[in-house]
Structure formats: structure tokens, C-alpha cells
Amino acid sequence: MKKVILARLQTIPVAGVHPNLVMSGMIVANEIAMEDGKVIIPVHVPEGFSGDLPAIQQAIEDKIKPLDGVDHVLVVLTSDKSDAAPASQTGKVAAAPAPATAPSTPTTIPRLKKRPTEAKGPDNRPEMEPIPGIKAILAVASGKGGVGKSTCSTNIALALSTLGFRVGLLDADIYGPSAPKLMGIHEQPRIEGDRVFPIEKYGIKVMSMGFFMEEENPVIWRGPMVVSALMQFTREVDWGGLDVLVLDMPPGTGDAQLTMAQQTPLTGAVIVSTPQDLALIDARKGLNMFKNVDVPIYGIIENMSTFICPHCGKPSDIFGHGGAEEDARRLGVPFLGAIPLHMDIRENSDAGTPVVVSQPDSTHTALYKKIALNVAARMFPETDDE
């Protein structure tokens, strides 16, 4: 099938670059992904390219959609052009702007109107537009992988829903999406034209790259392609009306993380870390990244804290204890709470039945709800006066 797709793409001319898309290097064979009737085709747009991007996308769709077994074609355009038109203007998937880099001085990026914040730092975010229908966006981040960030994101989103908020969960980890497993979702989103509709489960709306890929297939994409896909997930998914979109950020502080922080109107961020020094070093990097782009830090969560032995009932500090709380105090940000390392959380996460919905009256759920309530008070301070 891929050979047939490539053969058809080779018939699409590209004026001023090369006789066709494939030979020009704008399409790379091993980056084309196919699964269950859906074909994802990344297109690299050269810097200074003056061609008609919507026309190229339409040509790709016209060539590939008629193939047997193809139900939908998703074209991901990545570009170094700073003036690429947004999707709302073209009616097509827009080319992503160049990956953001840390500015050397506050004047290298246009300044926005200052917002109240609990984190100190210059307002270095580029211009951004609010996402229609979404009141607040909460980023849940970590400086490194493996600290349970996605588990926290999922349970916080569900806890916010139990508080009466309309909630969406965007799994922004393109390389290692966790939402399908954590939420027990096996179907694919509905797609109509250029709009993708999130899957609803347990009372919240969910979107993840994992819905479009086989569980064991890696996503082998360059940084700009990841950024483009993330921008499309925020702008071209029909979220409807939401009070809160919980953004499960990719781990680390690379291009994708910085671009999301700069080009998505984040209301605030929560940092997840385990207690040991190695994880806290990276957590501080993540926290400082948000500070540098003036995103409010709502607090730090210590995940996988004290382990209580199910046999003897004695506590064991496998990863240490209290490190995140000490860091929060030293850095001057709130400490939101400690989540224990417990079999129930792990087993329910693996089963796709998060502990907040499977054990609503448990101690663990109470901890997540307390964190959610604390975060909600910071996201919507006006509700305190009502």
C-alpha cells in the first residue's frame, strides 16, 4: 500500500522546488503512517516556499482518498515560514510555525498584556489566540518521563469533572501517548471534513495521537512535525464548550514543550515529580521553563511518595519522601500534595479504570480531588467571591 501511495504522490508537481513532492524531499517514505483506513502524511515545507499549501494538501487528498482501504487522509504540514496562514483562514490544515527557541532577550518575542501570575518571570510568550469554547487550559508537566505525570493528569481531569466542571483531556505526548490505555479507550475519534471530534468517556472528552496509531508502533517524527500535530490537536479538534482542558504535556523541556507553552494560552501549570533528587533536578527545569514564558505555576505534586506495604502495613520511602514539598517551599510555589505509590492506582491505571472513577470513595481519590479543588480555585478565582 505504501508503494502505491508514494507512486501517486510522485505525480503531484511542485513548482519552483522539484518536479514532484517525493523527489523534492517534502515527503519522506518512512514517515507515512497507516492504520485502520487512516493515512497520515507529513509534508516538510522548505523555508521561503511560496507555493499554494492548501492546493498541495487538496492534491494529496485527491490522489490518496480514492485508494481501496483508505477512509481518511490527514496531511500534516510543517514549515519554517513565520507567516503561514492559520487553519481558520485557509479552511485547511495550516503549516506549523518554526519551533520556538528560548529568547536571548525579552525583546526578541512580542510582549503580551501582563496577566496576574504566581510565578515570577518576564512575559515572553508570542501572540496567541484563545481557543474558542475553552475557558481555561491547565498544563500538567514533568521534567522527565516515568514520574507518573499521565496518571496524575488523567485523575486530575476526572476529579475536576466530579467537581462539576466540563473537562477535556489532551494527551500531548506524541511519542508515548498514554490516554488510550489509562482511559480504556479502543475506538477511534469521529472525523468530519477538517474537524476531529474527541472521544467521550467517564464524563470527559479525550484526544490522543494514540487513537490513530497501533499501540506498539513508534511515531518517528522530527520536532517540527510533532509541533504541527500538537497545534492541530488544540485548534482543529471540536472540543465544544469546556471549562477546563487538561493538557498532559510531553516530558522534558524541548521544542514541543516550549512551543506549546508559548503558543497555547495556558492558564497555569502543575509540575509532577517523584521525591528523589534526580527527578527533582529535572522538575526544576520544567518549572523554570514555564516561569520564563510567564505561565503561572499552580504548584508541585509529589507522585509515588511513601509506599505502604500491603502485607505488614509499614511505610517504605522507596524514592525518598518530602523532596518535592521541600523544593516547593524553597522555590516559593504551592505544594499541592503527595500521591502514594499504591497497587490500586497502578492496577486501575493499567485496566483503563482510573482510581477516581473506579474507587470514588478511596483515600487516593480524595487526594486527587483535593489537588483538583486547589487548582480550580487558582484557575477560577472569581468563583470564590460568588
- For residues 123 and 291, give the distance between their C-alpha atoms in angstroms, rounded to a whole number: 9
Return the pLDDT at 194.
74
- For residues 346 and 364, give the distance between their C-alpha atoms in angstroms, rounded to a whole number: 11
pTM of the complete model: 0.64
- Domain positions in the chain are 2-90, 134-385
Return the pLDDT at 84.
38
Question: What mean pLDDT do residues 166-181 have?
Answer: 87
What end-to-end distance do the CA atoms of the chain give, in Å?
Answer: 60
pLDDT at 196 over 80: yes
pLDDT tens by residue, 57-80? 888 988 888 888 888 888 887 764
Return the pLDDT at 199.
94
Using 50, 70 and 90 to split pLDDT, how confident is the model at 198?
very high
Alpha helices for 10-148 (secondary structure H): 53-64, 87-90
Return the pLDDT at 51.
76
pLDDT tens by residue, 227-260? 677 777 777 789 989 999 999 988 766 666 777 7
Using 50, 70 and 90 to split pLDDT, how confident is the model at 183?
very high
User: How buried is residue 94: exposed, middle or buried, by Cβ count under 10 Å (0-12/13-18/19+)?
Assistant: buried
Return the pLDDT at 82.
41
- In the block, which residue shows the cell 526578541? 108
pLDDT tens by residue, 109-165? 233 333 434 444 444 444 556 788 899 999 998 876 778 889 999 999 999 999 999
pLDDT at 343 over 60: yes
Return the pLDDT at 169.
96
Look up the CATH number of domain 134-385: 3.40.50.300
pLDDT tens by residue, 101-124? 333 323 222 333 334 344 444 444
C-alpha cell at 303: 507522585
pLDDT tens by residue, 293-328? 788 889 888 888 777 777 777 777 666 566 667 777
Percent of the chain clearing pLDDT 90 (strictly above): 21
Return the pLDDT at 222.
58
SS3 call for 190: strand
- For residues 9 and 178, give the distance between their C-alpha atoms in angstroms, rounded to a whole number: 32
With CA atoms as reference, report the closest residue to 78 among 53, 61, 59, 60.
Answer: 53
Return the pLDDT at 99.
38
Return the pLDDT at 161.
95
pLDDT tens by residue, 16-28? 656 778 777 788 8
The fold adopted by the segment(s) 2-90 is: GMP Synthetase; Chain A, domain 3 (3.30.300)
- For residues 42 and 228, give the distance between their C-alpha atoms in angstroms, rounded to a whole number: 10
Cα–Cα distances (Å) from 384 to 158, 200, 274, 374, 375, in that order, read 22, 29, 31, 12, 13
